[in-house]
Amino acid sequence: MSRPVTDEERRLAGLVRAHDRWRGRDVFNLLASENAVSPTARRYLASDLSGRYTLPVPATVDGETVDNSYTGTRYTDRIESLANAAAARLFRAKFATTRPLSGHLAALSALAPLLPPRSKLLAIPTDQGGYDGYAPGFVPALLGYSVRPLPANGPGHRVAADEAVAAIREERPNAVLLGQSFFLFPYPLREIAEAAHAVDALVLYDASHVLGLIAGGEFQDPLREGADVVFGSTHKSFPGPQGGLLVTDRADLFGQIDPALVWRVFDNAHWNRIAGLAQTLLELERVGPEYARTVVANARALGRALSDRQVPLVAEADGFTRSHQLHLDRPRLRAETGVGAGALARRLERQRLLIDLVGRIGTAEVARWGLTPDDMPRLAELIVRGGVRRERVGPEVLAWRRTFRTLRFA
Ligand SMILES: Cc1ncc(COP(=O)(O)O)c(C=O)c1O
């Protein structure tokens, strides 16, 4: 790497180095929305691909038809084909695209071509764990849709089959948009899909949070259970570079989605990201089931260990979770310990333990660093000592963290 020249360049280099050390070696990351990217995928992210274009879309130039607007793309196009084929194999889908630049844009990639303005969506409200992007003022407003609530009233924002079916029959939406930011339990998808298809509604499954678990066969299998299109972020429980992907078995839907990506949702699809994503897809083809099993087993074990130490969590009667997330029971946390979820997260951050400020604890990244269910009582103890009792556990966390040197499942 060339040496930084100016003071600002040196400052920048120092900040990036410090970030990498802090987030890569000095903390346990329990943020449910994040993961650690494999070393090979990181190498591809920094490859020459990061500055290149390819646009393998036929165009007419002065009466001549060309198959790409660029030259020099012989490897780029093969990397994309390899990535799409790997995604199709891993999710056992007939069609896949790795082009969406993020989970949110993967959603737009499905919604915009499939549903005309004035369509009605059924989506889980944000106060029941739904994604803010699907709230009335956001994506639905952008695309001219109305949105009605799909209830997720159960413990841990769980969707009950009878309530979902009743809402679908009453509202007769154009699409049921599943997916949550607070996502603990699989959906009763067969019942939802049967009711939705009976009123000609599409079932769109935003798997952003649980994509890595679905890849490992651990959560639910949306395409087999009735979802028409599955899409999501590739960097939450799925341990890839930040980005999105989309899979479906339906040729009619993919025939509308795929040609609409370029020049509508985005132009350049970031080929270094796609190479890194392809590597992660191939890694999960090898080790996905063991990875996903470990993540969920860790979450359930950490739930038990925290609850045994009087940290209130939701859905205890259901084993806390079936995903990579645990949810603090925020009202009880405040009432029983005198601290809110945000303050707890800030205290823990100072002790090198990262959880988010809205009450989610995630176990995907720590599984990648080698923690197993046997480690969860010790982790829970550190969370309680550092977050609730305000002890200075940072040095102990650092010493323990430094014993995990190699990224697993990579
Ligand atoms: C359910 C859900 N969908 C979509 C997104 C957006 O993902 P991205 O940040 O990859 O655009 C999120 C982000 O947290 C999410 O929770």
- What one-character-per-residue DSSP string does 265-283 give? TBS---HHHHHHHHHHHHH
Ligand 1 geometric centre to CA of 104 (Å): 5
Give dist(CA 331, CA 313) in Å, integer: 10
Task: State residue 264's pLDDT score.
Answer: 87
Task: State residue 230's pLDDT score.
Answer: 99
pLDDT score of 293 more than 90: yes
Task: State residue 221's pLDDT score.
Answer: 98
- The residue to mutate among 31, 37, 208, 237, having the most atoms of ligand 1 within 8 angstroms of its beta carbon, is 208
129 touches ligand 1 (CB under 6 Å): no
pLDDT score of 1 more than 80: no
Tell which CATH classification among 3.30.465.10, 4.10.80.400, 3.90.1150.10, 2.60.120.330 matches the domain 287-401. Answer: 3.90.1150.10
Residue 354: left (phi > 0), alpha (psi -120 to 50), or beta? beta
pLDDT score of 183 more than 80: yes
104 touches ligand 1 (CB under 6 Å): yes
Which of 179, 192, 202 has the alpha carbon at shortest distance from 128?
Answer: 179
CA distances from 15 to 23, 164, 219, 272, 352 (A): 12, 48, 38, 23, 18
pLDDT score of 226 more than 80: yes
Task: State residue 2's pLDDT score.
Answer: 80
Give dist(CA 68, CA 365) in Å, integer: 39
Q: How far is Cα of residue 15 from the mean position of the Cα atoms in its chain?
A: 26
Higher per-residue confidence, 4 vs 339 = 339
Q: Are 244 and 106 in contact (CB under 8 A)?
A: yes
Domain boundaries, the chain: 42-281, 287-401
Average pLDDT over residues 343-356: 98
Ligand 1 geometric centre to CA of 233 (Å): 6
Average pLDDT over residues 119-148: 97
Amino acid at 178: L
Average pLDDT over residues 162-179: 98
Q: What is the CA radius of gyration of the chain?
A: 22
Task: State residue 88's pLDDT score.
Answer: 98
Task: State residue 331's pLDDT score.
Answer: 97
What is the per-residue pLDDT across 74-123, written as a single tens digit (0 to 9) for each? Answer: 999 999 999 999 999 999 999 999 999 999 999 999 999 999 999 999 99
Task: State residue 379's pLDDT score.
Answer: 99
Give dist(CA 93, CA 405) in Å, integer: 35
What is the per-residue pLDDT across 24-51, written as a single tens digit (0 to 9) for each? Answer: 999 999 999 999 999 999 999 999 999 9
> Whole-number mean pLDDT of the chain?
97
Task: State residue 57's pLDDT score.
Answer: 86
Average pLDDT over residues 294-318: 98
- CATH code of domain 42-281: 3.40.640.10
Give dist(CA 278, CA 327) in Å, integer: 31
Give dist(CA 147, CA 167) in Å, integer: 12
